Amino acid sequence: MTGEIDTAVILGAGNIAWHLGHFLSKSGITVVQVYNRSREHGKKLAISLKADFTDTADKLEKNAGIYFLAISDDAIKTVVKQLTISKDRLLVHTAGGVDMNVISGITENYGVFYPLQTFSKERHVDFTQIPLLVEANNTENLGRLKQLALTVSRHVYEMGSEDRMILHLAAVIASNFSNHLIACAENILKDRKLALEMLKPLMVETVAKAFAVTPGKAQTGPAVRGNFKLMEKHMAMLRSYPEIKEIYRLISDNIIKFKN
């Protein structure tokens, strides 16, 4: 299998599938089919991409240029066993925390096409600014994936599974955990009828400063200053939120250890 990739099949209809499918289409790649077990979500994505739809694995388009497994990590092993694509087709998954070799043996050509970003259908993202991490089972497939990736992103990186999974771990801590902490803050504010929006300028500056001067140099707050009286006062204020109180204690202790 050689040549430029110009047709694709999307397996999945979730957030990544939605954004990836539309940006591939905008970049000149024809999405010929969407496969999804849920007809409602799958047909909606297929219609928006002007693609065919199927919810039956044995009715997959057999000769597309590339097949994207844009599904949950846990579903990858199950879905690949059901695939009936030609052995010479190029199959990739889009998961950050899954080894490439999970999909080996299905085709002779396989790899990873991982966009390092958080996705939701309600939010527009500029795919050209998203780091795209690619990996493949041989040099030829890697070249084809890199060429495809460069049509949709300005930031393409060749990366093996081990490093990609470490990066994914870091992304979970930096993004998902940060978002959860904002949700914790929102719960506290709601009880006092205070608006989360008040924290927005602070959070925007916090992230910007972390990348401008490094997170270690950007760290502020009572823990890094050693203001234990204020920390004790905060802990007392959190007595009605025992789980958040424990998070506050653990992170404060960790900040102190990082400082030292």
* DSSP track, 191-208: HTT--GGGGHHHHHHHHH
Two tokens, residue 92 = 């990739």
129 falls within a domain: yes
Average pLDDT over residues 95-112: 95
Number of domains in the chain: 2
- 1-10, 54-63, 166-175: lowest mean pLDDT where? 1-10
Model pLDDT for residues 201-220, shown as the tens digit of each residue = 999 999 999 999 999 999 99
**pLDDT tens digits for range 4-58:** 799 999 999 999 999 999 999 999 999 999 999 989 999 999 999 999 999 998 8
102 and 41: one domain? yes
Find the CATH number of the domain harbouring 226: 1.10.1040.20
* Distance separating alpha carbons of residues 181 and 89, to the nearest angstrom: 43
Of 159, 181, 212, the one marking the end of a domain is 159
Based on the fold, state whether residues 96 and 18 are members of the same structural domain: yes
113: nearest Cα among 144, 88, 82, 77: 144
For residues 155 and 172, membership in a common domain is answered with: no
pTM score: 0.92
Distance, CA of 21 to CA of 95 (rounded, Å): 15
Residues 193 and 226 in one domain: yes
Where do we find the tokens 């999804």? Answer: 36
CA 200 from chain centre, in angstroms, equals: 23
- Both 67 and 86 in a single domain? yes
Cβ-contact 90, 144 below 8 angstroms: yes
Residues 113 and 21 in one domain: yes
Whether residue 151 is found in the same domain as residue 171: no
Q: In angstroms, rounded to a whole number, what is the distance separating the alpha carbons of residues 41 and 67? A: 18
Domain annotation covers residue 2 = no
Task: Kindly state whether residues 106 and 227 are assigned to the same domain.
Answer: no
Evaluate whether 28 touches 151 at the Cβ level (below 8 Å): yes
H or E segment and range at residue 39: helix 39-49
Specify whether 82 is located in the same domain as 96: yes
> What does the pLDDT read at residue 160?
97
The parent domain of residue 119 ranges over: 7-159
**Where do runs of H (alpha helix) occur along 52-133?**
76-80
Output the pLDDT for position 58: 87
Let me know if residue 1 belongs to a domain.
Answer: no
- What confidence category does residue 84 fall into, taking pLDDT thresholds of 50, 70 and 90? confident
* CATH number of the domain where residue 47 is located: 3.40.50.720
Residues 12 and 119 occupy one common structural domain: yes
User: What pLDDT does residue 3 have?
Assistant: 61
Q: What is the pLDDT of residue 255?
A: 96
CA distance 86 to 63: 7
Claim to verify: residue 144 and residue 185 sit in the same structural domain: no
